[in-house]
Amino acid sequence: MPHPLSGIRVVEIGDRIAAAYCGKLLRDAGADVIVVEPEGGSPLRRSGHFFDYLAGGKRSVVAAAGQAQRVAAAADIVVLAASPAEARRRGIDCRALHTATPGTVVVTVSNFGWTGPWAEYPATEFTLQAWCGSTGSRGEPDRPPIAAGGDLGEFIAGGYAAFFGLAGLFGAAGAQVDLSVLEAMSASMQTFGWLRTDVAGLTSFSRSTEVPSIERCKDGYVGMSMATGKQWQSFCAMVGCPELAADLTLGLQLNRWRNRDRVRAAIGPWLAAHTVEEIVEQAERFRVPMAAIGNGATLPLMDHFVARGTFLDNPAGFRQPRPPWLMSAAQPKPLAPAPRPGDLTDPWPPRKPVTVATDPVPMSQALQGLRVVDLTAFWAGPAASQLFAMLGADVIKVESCRHPDGMRYSGTLRTGVADWWEYSWVAHAVNTNKRSLTLDLQTARGRELVGALIADADLVIENFPARVMENLGLDYDTLRGINENLIVVRMPAFGLDGPWRNRGGFAMTMEQIAGLAWITGYPDDVPTAPRGPCDGLAAVHAAFAALCAVEFRRRTGSGQLVEVPMIETVLNATARQVIEFDVSATVLTRNGNRGHGVALQNLYACEGDDTWIAVSVRDDSDRAALAALLGQREIDDAGLADWFADKPLAPTVQALLDAGVPAAPVVSPTEIGDNPQLQTRRFLETLQHPRVGPVRYPRPPIAPANGGFVTRPAPTLGEHNREVLCGLLGVSAEEFAQLERDAVIGTSPVR
C-alpha cells in the first residue's frame, strides 16, 4: 500500500527529542526527512541506539552555520528546535526563508516559545514539569513531590509539532508555527488546575496519588484505574468490600485519597491473596481497568503485543514499537537504519512545496471546511477532536442523555447546582469550539439521524471499547456504506484485535502497562502512575494520524479506517526502556527526581513550608555557573540541599536562570494562570460560559499569530440540538418536539 505523506519534504534542524520525534512521525507516515547536522553529528547521537530509533530512515546533511538555510528552502515543512538566539547562531532566518519559499511551513520548537520574557531562558524536561504543575500534583504529602519519569513532555511536544506542521499545509502554508514545549506540557501533563478553580470551585490543590492505583499483590504489583463511580462499585464487589461500596462518598477519587489508609487496609488482604494474572482476569469480567506493571524487559513479551506484532526488529539490533497507527488504505514506511552524518551530499533542488495554499489563512482557520462527527468521551478522544475544532473544523460532539460523556460525571465537584454535570473541569478543557448534539444511538431514529450527519462529514472520531461501535450497528463497513469517502478514526485502548481487545483502559492504565509508572516514583516505594498525561499523548497522535488520512484523501480521493490504539502511542514514548534492555540488559527503573543521563538533577527544599526548587545541571558549563553562584569550587547533591535550605524561592530561581542554569519553582496546577510567560503569550483565553460564567480556557501550544484559537466555550449538553437537527439535517419543528418527548434528544442526563 502507499504511504499517507509520500512526496512531502521535511527538514529537521536541532538536537532535542521533540524535533527528532516530530521528524520520526512525519517520516514513518511517508515524508522524506533530511536531518541537518553540524560537523561531528548531532548531539543526540550520543544517546546511542535511542538515536537509531528516532532517526531511522531519515537522511543526513552536514551543514555549517548559514548553509542550513539553503537546505531548508527546498522543504514543505521545516522543524527547527531552537530559540530565536539559537536560530541566529545556526544561520536560520525564518522571515527570509518564507520570502524565498512562500509555501514552506516552519515549526519552531523551543522551551517557552519565541515571544515573551522567557524566550531565551534555559530549561529541561525536569524543570518544565515543575513549571507546568505536573511535578507539584504528584507524590505523598510527607515526601517531596515527584516528577514523571522519562521524557514524556518531549514526546508530547513532538506530536504537536508534527500535527501543526502538517496542518499548516492545508491553508496556512507559509506560517511560522511557534510551539512552546511549556505550553504543550501545560495542556497535557497536568489536570487543568486553573479550571478546577474556575469551573469546579476548588481553590486549593495538594499533591496526591490515585487510590487505589498501583498496589502490592501476591506476586508483585498490579495497576488499577477507576474514573467512574460505577467502576469503583464494581471494584468493591470484586474484592469483597461491601462496606467501602456503602460509603457513597468514596465514589469520588478525592475522598478516596482523604481516606487512603482505610481503603488500602480494606483491600489489602484480598490483593495479597491473588496474583497479578488472577486480578487482571477478574477485573476484565467486572469491567474495571487493571493491568500488570510493564518495564523494558517484559513489554515485548506480553501476549497482546506478540499477537498484534506491535514490536519490530530495528536493523541496529533492538526491538522497537511500530508507528502507533494502522490504516486500511495506506501504511507506514518500513523501518530503516539511521543515517551516518552527511550521508546525503546532494539534497533536493530548491522548489516550491508540493501543496501550496493559493490564499493562505491563519492557523486558526487552517482546517476550515472539514466536518468532524465526534463520538468520543473522557479526555483523550475529545482532546483529539478538539485540535481540529481549534483550527477551524466544524466538530459536532454527539452524546446520549442516557450515557453522556463520562467525564461530565467524574470531573466535577460542584454541589448545590441543579445542572452539576456542566461543571466538569476536564470536559470544559477539551471541548471548546465544538457543537453539542444529543442522540440516543440505541434507538432506530437516533441511528438514522447520526447516519444523516455522517453522510456529509469528513471524519468520525470515537474512542469506545472496540465492541461498542459494532454493537451499535455503526461498524466501519456500515459507515462506509453511508459515506464512501469517510475517514473513521478509532481510538480503542488496546486496538481492534488481540487478546486485550475488549478491555477498557484510561491513561493511567496505559502508563502502568507501558513502563511510565515503572520509572516514576520514589526508589524505595511502589511504581507511580504519572496520572493522565498519556491522554494528551494519545490525543495528539490520533489527531496527527487523522490529518495524515485527510492529506491522503486529498491526493487520492480515498477515505479509510484509521486505528490508533492508546497503548501503542504510549509504547512509542517509552521505547527507550526496551532499547536499553535489548542492547545492554539494563532495566531502567525509577530514580526519584534524579532522572537518568544528566549530570545532576533534583528537587531541593527552600525557605518556607513545603517549598521546592527544581534544578538541572546538564553539563560542565552548568556546573561551573552553579559553583560560581554558590561560591564553591565543587558542588554535589548534599551541598546543594544545604545551600537552598534557607533561600527564598522566587529570587533563587531567577538567579539560577540568569546564570544560565535550568531551574523552576515546583508549582501547583492551580497556579499556572499566574505564570508571566503564559500570560504574555495568552495561553489562557477567558470566555463566558452560559452556566459557569467566566472561564479561562487553554489554547493550543502555539502562539496565536493572526487570531485566537478559542472562540466558543465548551458546550452545554445538547446546546446545539436545534441548530444541528433543524438547521443542518432539515428536521421539522414538529419532529424535533417529538424527539424531545421520546427522549431521543435532550439537555440533561436521563437516569
Question: Tens digit of pLDDT for each residue in 512-541?
Answer: 999 999 999 999 999 999 988 999 999 999
Q: How far apart are CA 212 and CA 224, in angstroms?
A: 7
Task: Find cell 462499585 and name the residue.
Answer: 233
Task: Identify whether 549 is part of a domain.
Answer: no
Would you call 500 exposed, middle or buried from its count of C-beta atoms within 10 A (0-12, 13-18, 19+)? Answer: buried
Task: Identify whether 437 is part of a domain.
Answer: no
**What is the span of the domain harbouring residue 667?**
598-674
Amino acid at 245: A
Task: Identify whether 77 is part of a domain.
Answer: no
**Residue 556 in grid coordinates:** 487520492
What b/e string do you get for 190-229 counting C-beta neighbours within 10 Å, with b at 16 or more? bbbbbbbbbbbbbeebebbbbbbbbbebeeebbbbbbbbb
Q: Full-prediction pTM beyond 0.85?
A: yes
Q: How far apart are CA 5 and CA 26, in angstroms?
A: 7
Residues of the chain with pLDDT under 70: 173, 351-360, 705-707
Residue 707's pLDDT is: 63
- Domain end among 288, 305, 329: 288
Neighbours of 358 (CB within 10 A): 7
Task: Identify whether 654 is part of a domain.
Answer: yes
Please tell me the number of Cα atoms within 13 Å of 647 on its side-chain side: 21
How many domains are there within the chain?
A: 2
**DSSP state letters, 418-476:** TTGGG--HHHHHT-TT-EEEE--TTSHHHHHHHHHHHHT-SEEEE-S-HHHHHHTT--H
Alpha carbon of 223 to those of 137, 145, 189, 215: distances in Å? 19, 21, 20, 7
Task: Find cell 536562570 and name the residue.
Answer: 657
Task: Identify whether 250 is part of a domain.
Answer: yes
**DSSP state letters, 381-420:** HHHHHHHHHHTT-EEEEEE-SSS--THHHHT----S-TTG
Q: How far apart are CA 595 and CA 615, in angstroms?
A: 11
Would you call 348 exposed, middle or buried from its count of C-beta atoms within 10 A (0-12, 13-18, 19+)? Answer: middle
Which pairing describes strands 371-375 and 394-399: parallel, antiparallel, or unpaired?
parallel
Residue 362: cis peptide before it, omega within 30 degrees of 0: no
Secondary element (H or E) of residue 663 = strand 663-665
339 φψ region: left (φ > 0), alpha (ψ -120 to 50), beta (else)? beta
- Domain end among 625, 658, 674: 674
Residue 359's pLDDT is: 63
Task: Identify whether 541 is part of a domain.
Answer: no
Secondary element (H or E) of residue 318 = strand 318-321
Q: How far apart are CA 460 and CA 663, in angstroms?
A: 43
Q: How far apart are CA 184 and CA 90, in angstroms?
A: 24
- Domain end among 238, 257, 288: 288
Task: Identify whether 718 is part of a domain.
Answer: no
Task: Identify whether 235 is part of a domain.
Answer: yes
Alpha helices in 274-337 (DSSP H): 276-286, 303-308
CATH code of the domain in which 634 resides: 3.30.1540
Residue 354's pLDDT is: 46
Over residues 123-158, the pLDDT tens digits come to: 999 999 999 999 999 999 999 999 999 999 999 999
Neighbours of 133 (CB within 10 A): 26
Q: How far apart are CA 125 and CA 616, in angstroms?
A: 9
Residue 353's pLDDT is: 47
